[in-house]
Amino acid sequence: MATVVGGLGISHTPSMGVEHDAYRRTGEFTPRWQPWFDGTRRLRELLAGLSADHLVVVYNDHLNHFDLDNLPTIAIGIGDTFPQADEGWGRRPLPDLDGDPEWGIHLAESLVASEFDLTICHDLHVDHGIYSWLPYVMDVPWPTPITPIAVNMVRAPLPTANRIRQLGVAIRSAVESASRAERVVVVATGGMSHQISGGRFGIANEGLDRWFLDRLPDGLEDLMKIPVTEYMRVGGTEAAELSLWFAMRAALSASATAAYRFQTFPFITGCGALLMVEP
């Protein structure tokens, strides 16, 4: 039986990736981004200590693979590899992500059996939803294969908080029903407070970000009671992506605990991370 050994909630944003590219060229971060890099040093150590054999990553695409004519609510990648999406300025100098079709197919079958009507993708191009934070917590070549699960966070109607929680529960069941004796970490990634369009462009709310990080380990039910429109009002439209983090918490047991968390605000989008581990 495979085991969920931990969970990671983490922000993503395009500039996070651009800054890491600059760091690899120059060996330095700008003062805005240095705290994010510093904060991910301990995270990276702790994540490595979990010795994951596989990552299940719940994220959202930003119309870089899917488009408004064909936008599934929940899609799963089952390919051998997941190329980087070109977001309009060319692909960054990072390799494709490794998949594991045996895991991908097992997760797809198990989630469909749990009544999730998935879009199944053999060829899924992955954008900054995964590529921006990944090089901060893992080195190239990527050490761990992944199964990406893309959830619509860009166009109404969004899936409900309960649906995202149930997705996390179903992922845990799927992992535990696998015959492979492997260690799995469930990652959920969504930007924290930010708004990148309209008259409120640029608003953010670091207090909301810190409060969310503090509450998620033991307060999932309370966080789910808050309407997504309230997160959007208080934290900016794209703060809706915080609801993806519910899947990570729900994929862990009630006795899982926070091993590490931190928050910073480099540019436009609140950035934070929460690593939880099973006892």
Interface with Fe ion, residue 270, by CB under 5 A: no
- Taking the C-alpha atoms of residue 188 and residue 251, their distance in angstroms, rounded to an integer, is 10
Phi (first) and psi of residue 223, to 5 degrees = -65, -35
Residue closest to 268 by CA, chosen among 190, 192, 189: 192
The tokens describing 185, both together, are 């970490």
Interface with Fe ion, residue 191, by CB under 5 A: yes
Pick between residue 4 and residue 266 the one whose CB is nearest to Fe ion.
266
- Binding residues for Fe ion, rule CB under 5 A, total 2
Q: Report the length, in residues, of the chain.
A: 279
Residues 238-267 that bind Fe ion (CB under 5 A): 241
Q: What is the largest CA-CA distance in the chain?
A: 52
Report helix, strand or coil for 54: strand
Contact region with Fe ion (CB under 5 A), list: 179-187, 203-211, 218-226, 236-244:
236-244
Query: Minimum distance between the CB of residue 175 and Fe ion, rounded to whole angstroms?
Result: 25
- Taking the C-alpha atoms of residue 220 and residue 222, their distance in angstroms, rounded to an integer, is 5
Query: Minimum distance between the CB of residue 191 and Fe ion, rounded to whole angstroms?
Result: 4
Pick between residue 191 and residue 236 the one whose CB is nearest to Fe ion.
191
Interface with Fe ion, residue 6, by CB under 5 A: no
Pick between residue 46 and residue 94 the one whose CB is nearest to Fe ion.
94
* Residues forming a β-bridge with 118: none
Query: Minimum distance between the CB of residue 81 and Fe ion, rounded to whole angstroms?
Result: 22
Contact region with Fe ion (CB under 5 A), list: 26-34, 88-96, 163-171, 191-199:
191-199
Pick between residue 41 and residue 201 the one whose CB is nearest to Fe ion.
201
Residue 210 CB coordination number (10 Å): 16
Residue closest to 271 by CA, chosen among 24, 67, 16: 16
Residue number with the shortest CB distance to Fe ion? Answer: 191
- Taking the C-alpha atoms of residue 191 and residue 200, their distance in angstroms, rounded to an integer, is 16
Contact region with Fe ion (CB under 5 A), list: 36-44, 49-57, 224-232, 237-245:
237-245
Asked whether the beta carbons of 7 and 188 are under 8 A apart, the reply is yes
Cα-based distances in Å from 79 to 146, 148, 149: 10, 10, 12
Catalytic residue ranges: 128, 194
Query: Minimum distance between the CB of residue 114 and Fe ion, rounded to whole angstroms?
Result: 26
Contact region with Fe ion (CB under 5 A), list: 17-25, 172-180, 187-195, 265-273:
187-195
- Taking the C-alpha atoms of residue 23 and residue 202, their distance in angstroms, rounded to an integer, is 25
Query: Minimum distance between the CB of residue 153 and Fe ion, rounded to whole angstroms?
Result: 7
Pick between residue 50 and residue 151 the one whose CB is nearest to Fe ion.
151
Binding site for Fe ion (CB under 5 A): 191, 241
